[in-house]
A and B are shown apart, each in its own frame.
Chain A
Amino acid sequence: MPQFPLYIPSKGRWESRLTSKALEEMGVPYRVIIEEQEYSQYAAVIDKSKLLILDKQYQRDYDTCDDLGDTKSKGPGPARNFIWEHSIAEGYPWHWVMDDNIKGFSRMNNHQRIYTTSPSFWRAMEDFVLRYKNVGMAGPDYAMFALSGSAQPPFILNTRIYSCNLIRNDIPFRWRGRYNEDTILSLDMLKAGWCTVQFNAFLQRKITTQQIKGGNTEAFYAKEGTLPKSQMQVAMHPDVSKLAYKFGRIHHYVDYRPFKKNKLIRRTDIEWPEGVNDYGMKLIQIKPS
């Protein structure tokens, strides 16, 4: 079982609630953070004890990093900051926060991606980051980015952690930005010398953002395209970001190479493990659905 709490900020997705369903299948405890006006819809389909109502103060206080105030959605950042403080109040040193459009989780080994329903999936990643003094954030990569033919190690250091984030609570950062908050937080940490760990051995099966309705960012992309998002990225971290026009639309490119110098620092007060530890996970044959 995971030792740190799992949270899902959710908006308008009480029908699909993909991540909740995936975590139910794994049998791990979780909480869903929702806005007050959607309580009845969520309460009709999810155990009420799992629901937390977002304190509106977090929306009022949120640093959107622009001058547009309340004229647009502030994205998932306010709920994620609420979660951060909630887990601290409960006495946890780390917490998980994940999007509500993840349909499942996989392990990768021998170039094979295989679904997992084992709760050890979470514990293994937690144990890994706890071996070091200087990991600020970690998480599984998207399964679709574990590309065929790409030579990949079990983890990559010092890049963006997105959509399913294990975050150390005592570091002096918080979510900010109306867009790109994952990249902004990752860069805030990396520039301060912290390491981030993106796992290829553990993967998330995320549905493409605009494939299912609802979500905090739905309002953005349908109306605006990706230009404001890319512009905010460049404004927040201009030293490592640039805009590029490729394949018929605006992209932003972030250069993570300067953070190669952030090295993992091992804790010296633990016995370093050896060999393979599958955390009790067993590979079984099933009928394909």
Chain B
Amino acid sequence: MKLETVKIDQINPAPYNPRKDLKPSDPEYQKLKKSITEFDMVEPLILNKRGNVLIGGHQRLKVLKEMGRKEVEVSVVDLPPAKEKALNLALNKISGEWDLPLLKDLLESIDTGELPDIEITGFSEREIEQLMAQVHSIDEEWQGMPEFNDPDPWIRRIVVHFAKTEDVIEFFKLLQQSYTEKILSIWYPMKENQDLKDKRWQ
């Protein structure tokens, strides 16, 4: 383990950190503050030297800032982004409350094939399935609202990246579809939205 003392204002919290952010008024925050006041820092924060990104210890960093600390001892690691995120998850798995949508985003972002095994995050596949079942889909949010059906739900979605606008336009020509900047996704074969002028919702 490589320990270093770094300036607190040089540490960058991970924007994807999926833990619920504690507020000073939260009992958990108060407990943490009391513990640091009593015992000081008995366990170092974990910092990725690539970008000075904080991997473990976000709530402790918040408390230290409030206490006016200028420096802190950190354990420094050197990890690529996917492994950095996986370690964040593994370190955070033990306690605290998850921000489920952020957790879902994080799991999706590291599930790129780079990691040898998703379970190095500390989550089994079964646990991931159970957690994801708690994240609400758009369809679930739409419950109790007027009917909104897609009569032909998509069976496969492929994301294609283009380096140039000209290539996008060329792609649309090949598909014989018209291109506008507002289009975020398309159907192939094309499906038409129809204006039904002989019907009305009253």
Contact A111 B151 (CB under 8 A): yes
Query: Within the complex, which residue of B148, B182, B194 is in contact with A113, where a contact is CB–CB below 8 Å?
Result: B194
**Does B167 have its Cβ within 8 Å of any Cβ on chain A?**
no
Chain B residues whose C-beta falls within 8 Å of the C-beta of A154 in the assembled complex: 138, 142, 145, 148
Distance of B108 from chain A, by nearest CB (Å): 11
Given A150-B184, A154-B138, CB of A277 within 8 Å of CB of B196: no
Contact B144 A275 (CB under 8 A): yes
Contact A111 B148 (CB under 8 A): no
Chain A residues whose C-beta falls within 8 Å of the C-beta of B113 in the assembled complex: none
**Once the chains are docked, how many angstroms separate the CA of A282 from the CA of B200?**
8
Query: Within the complex, which residue of A149, A273, A285, A288 is in contact with B190, where a contact is CB–CB below 8 Å?
Result: A149
Contact mask for chain B residues 109-136; partner A; CB cutoff 8 A; 1 contact, 0 none: 0000000000000000000000000001
Contact B185 A150 (CB under 8 A): yes
Distance of A222 from chain B, by nearest CB (Å): 23
Which residues of A262-287 are within 8 A (CB) of B? 263-264, 266, 272-279, 281-287
Chain A residues with a Cβ closer than 8 Å to the other chain, count: 54
Contact mask for chain A residues 102-122; partner B; CB cutoff 8 A; 1 contact, 0 none: 000001111111111110010
**Does B66 have its Cβ within 8 Å of any Cβ on chain A?**
no
Query: Within the complex, which residue of A151, A153, A283 is in contact with B200, where a contact is CB–CB below 8 Å?
Result: A283
Contact B146 A284 (CB under 8 A): no
**Once the chains are docked, how many angstroms separate the CA of A43 from the CA of B177?**
48
Given A114-B200, A115-B200, A276-B147, CB of A246 within 8 Å of CB of B165: yes
Contact A155 B142 (CB under 8 A): yes
**Does B191 have its Cβ within 8 Å of any Cβ on chain A?**
yes
Given A110-B149, A151-B154, CB of A118 within 8 Å of CB of B194: no
Contact mask for chain B residues 185-202; partner A; CB cutoff 8 A; 1 contact, 0 none: 111001111111111111
Contact A111 B191 (CB under 8 A): yes
Contact A108 B143 (CB under 8 A): no
Given A118-B201, A150-B187, A288-B198, CB of A111 within 8 Å of CB of B150: yes
**Once the chains are docked, how many angstroms separate the CA of A155 from the CA of B148?**
10
Which residues of A124-138 are within 8 A (CB) of B? 124, 127-128
- Interface class of chain B by DSSP: loop
Contact A107 B201 (CB under 8 A): yes
Contact A276 B202 (CB under 8 A): no
Distance of A8 from chain B, by nearest CB (Å): 22
When C-beta atoms are compared, the residue in chain B nearest to A253 turns out to be B181
Chain B residues whose C-beta falls within 8 Å of the C-beta of A107 in the assembled complex: 146, 201
**Does A208 have its Cβ within 8 Å of any Cβ on chain B?**
no
Stretch at the interface among A68-76, A140-148, A170-178: A140-148
**Does A187 have its Cβ within 8 Å of any Cβ on chain B?**
no
Contact A112 B146 (CB under 8 A): no
Query: Within the complex, which residue of A113, A116, A253, A277 is in contact with B202, where a contact is CB–CB below 8 Å?
Result: A116
Distance of B32 from chain A, by nearest CB (Å): 23
Contact B186 A149 (CB under 8 A): yes
Given A113-B196, A117-B200, CB of A151 within 8 Å of CB of B146: no
Contact A281 B150 (CB under 8 A): no
Given A149-B186, A154-B145, A155-B142, CB of A281 within 8 Å of CB of B193: no
Contact B193 A147 (CB under 8 A): yes
**Does A249 have its Cβ within 8 Å of any Cβ on chain B?**
no
**Does B141 have its Cβ within 8 Å of any Cβ on chain A?**
yes
Contact B150 A151 (CB under 8 A): yes
Contact A153 B201 (CB under 8 A): no
Contact B192 A149 (CB under 8 A): yes
- Known pairs A116-B202, A121-B201 / 11 extra A-B pairs, C-beta < 8 Å: A109-B149, A114-B201, A115-B197, A124-B145, A150-B186, A275-B144, A278-B147, A284-B200, A286-B200, A288-B197, A288-B198
- Can you list 8 A-B pairs, Cβ within 8 angstroms, ordered by A? A112-B195, A112-B196, A149-B186, A149-B187, A149-B192, A151-B186, A154-B142, A201-B146
